Structure 1
Amino acid sequence: MTALVLALVAGAVTGISLGALGGGGSMLAVPALIYLLGFTPAAATTASLVVVTVTSATALAAHARAGAVHWRGGAIFAAAGLVPAALGGALSARLPSALLTGAFAVIAGVAALRMLRPSASEQDGIPVRPVRVAGAGAGLGAVTGVLGVGGGFLAVPALVNVVGLRMRVAVGTSLLVITVNSLAALAARTGSAVTVDWTHVAPFAAAAVLGAWDGRRLAARISSDLLRRLFAWALLLVAALMLADAVV
């Protein structure tokens, strides 16, 4: 299979995940860029930020037109996580990679188990408490900064369980959080010496954008409860794989 075909397939899967689940983009994009397209880890991380930023912004527009974005809660959530993410990134350089991977696996597993339980907070019209939302956003920013991945996979459970959004609205709102955080991360990397092969990234990003549209339509056809359960089981699988990688 040629590199172009691999880029298109991996990009489509990344986009579907972001469009339907509001997360998983970087967790899918980075391994695909490294193991399928031969990118270095540094180049893969930078390239994935470009892919995730473009795809999340596109999917966000689609979810916004469907009225599935809580702008006030999402803006507070995203803004609160910017500084903790930067501080967490500085701390992560001093921690062993196995510890980081294992910590993320545990946090992702706990979030998934919480989502598998019926949530009494998943309802329409719930008032947004800025302090509570900012606290959750800051916590997510710190975790994302330290662990380097998982913004979307952790944002959706937090938006459902802490903020009290319905699953569909949480998915759309998480795309706002991902877009803001990805743009901030890209800005921090401006002027770096990392070389990115744009001949592979461009088709990857294009396929991801198209996949995001399909993912949004898929989300519109599935009940919120089923979507939440599918998301939780996918998150559990990711957690198990990452924990195995940390232990081995």
Structure 2
Amino acid sequence: MTPFVLPAGLLIGLALGALGGGGSILTVPALVHLVGQDPRVATTGSLVIVGITSLIALVPHARRGNVRVGQGLAFGALGTAGSFAGSFASRQVSPAVLLGAFSLLMLLVAGLMVRRALSGRAAAAGADDAGPMLSLHPFACACPRVLKVLVTATAVGLLTGFFGVGGGFALVPALVLALSFPVPVAVGTSLLVIAVNSATALIARTSGGLTLDWSVIVLFTAAAIAGSLIGGRVAAKVAPRHLTLAFAGLLVVVALYTAGSTLAGAL
């Protein structure tokens, strides 16, 4: 058992607790670089960790009445095709391509987080406090409502299936725009959608006979849950803007390291 499992899990949980959606994107590089897992195994194990953590994080949101179960389950069900397609595509590409694409995803998320932090627009209705990782208007769409829901659900499912991430940084704005949810409700419901998408993608991946290291997953998940509790306290004492910029910087560093190590291994 690698000694990095617990500190890596604590770091992921700290990010999730302090920043909300988007923190789980560090799970895959942590499993690859700190724990030493194969990228395909890491992206699959990440689905378990993200799914379980989302379900636990769902509880306080549900108690506050910010989870719309029926619509969340329906949105997750609509993303099933995307989850299966993303899982299939992930199995077809080489580990180097998968990690390279993941590096680009981390850089994209970092850019969106910096944009959010520097925009200076703390939404008056409390949207910024709720934790979506990007502003909403770039995702505006004039398409009919049903088509908008189907497209966004499929896209989030595809993201989850291919990369093994929850996609909370994109899911919250998608729920606001596609279903007209208030941001607090979108944040709470997104956790349910993430759990559904993670379960669907996990079924698609494990049907291929992939073996997971459950001891690592259990310890990592437990550490992430503990870290999320600490992160919640940190968030109450530190300005959200500073936390967001710090995490974005960490994402850039991890993305560049992942890209560099992948390129070096391919040469």
State the shift of 1:107 in Å: 5.0
- 3-state DSSP of counterpart to 2:36: coil
Determine whether 1:135 maps to 2:134: no
RMSD in angstroms over aligned alpha carbons?
3.8
State the shift of 1:179 in Å: 0.7
Kindly provide the amino acid, as one letter, of the partner of residue 69 in structure 1.
V
- 3-state DSSP of counterpart to 1:3: coil
Provide Cα deviations, 1:146-170, integer angstroms capped at 9, x if missing partner: 5554622322343356555455433
Provide Cα deviations, 1:116-156, integer angstroms capped at 9, x if missing partner: 554879679xxxx6653343222222344455546223223
- CA gap 1:157/1:209 in 2 versus in 1, 3 angstroms: same
Q: For 1:38 and 1:102, how far apart are their aligned partners in 2? A: 17
Question: Which residue is equivalent to 1:54?
Answer: 52
Equivalent pair of 2:84/2:200 in contact (CA under 8 Å): no
Q: For 2:252 and 2:177, how far apart are their aligned partners in 1? A: 19
Q: For 1:109 and 1:115, how far apart are their aligned partners in 2? A: 10
- CA gap 1:202/1:91 in 2 versus in 1, 3 angstroms: closer
Determine whether 1:189 maps to 2:176: no
1:77 to 60, 75, 78: 75
Q: For 1:56 and 1:150, how far apart are their aligned partners in 2? A: 8
My pick for the range that moved more, 41-50 or 139-148, is 139-148
Q: For 1:244 and 1:133, how far apart are their aligned partners in 2? A: 36
- CA gap 1:61/1:187 in 2 versus in 1, 3 angstroms: same
Unaligned runs of 5+ in 2: 128-144
Determine whether 1:104 maps to 2:102: no
1:29 to 8, 27, 30: 27
Question: Which residue is equivalent to 2:6?
Answer: 8
Equivalent pair of 1:108/1:239 in contact (CA under 8 Å): no
- CA gap 1:204/1:90 in 2 versus in 1, 3 angstroms: closer
Equivalent pair of 1:62/1:216 in contact (CA under 8 Å): no
Question: Which residue is equivalent to 2:172?
Answer: 156
Kindly provide the amino acid, as one letter, of the partner of residue 154 in structure 1.
A
- 3-state DSSP of counterpart to 2:212: coil
My pick for the range that moved more, 57-66 or 87-96, is 87-96
- Superposed, 1:169-248 pairs within 5 Å as 169-190=185-206, 192-216=208-232, 221=236, 227=240, 230-231=243-244, 234=247, 238=251, 242=255, 246=259
State the shift of 1:205 in Å: 1.6
Unaligned runs of 5+ in 1: none
Q: For 1:146 and 1:37, how far apart are their aligned partners in 2? A: 20
Question: Which residue is equivalent to 1:40?
Answer: 38
Q: For 1:74 and 1:227, how far apart are their aligned partners in 2? A: 27
Identical-pair percentage: 39
- 3-state DSSP of counterpart to 2:175: helix
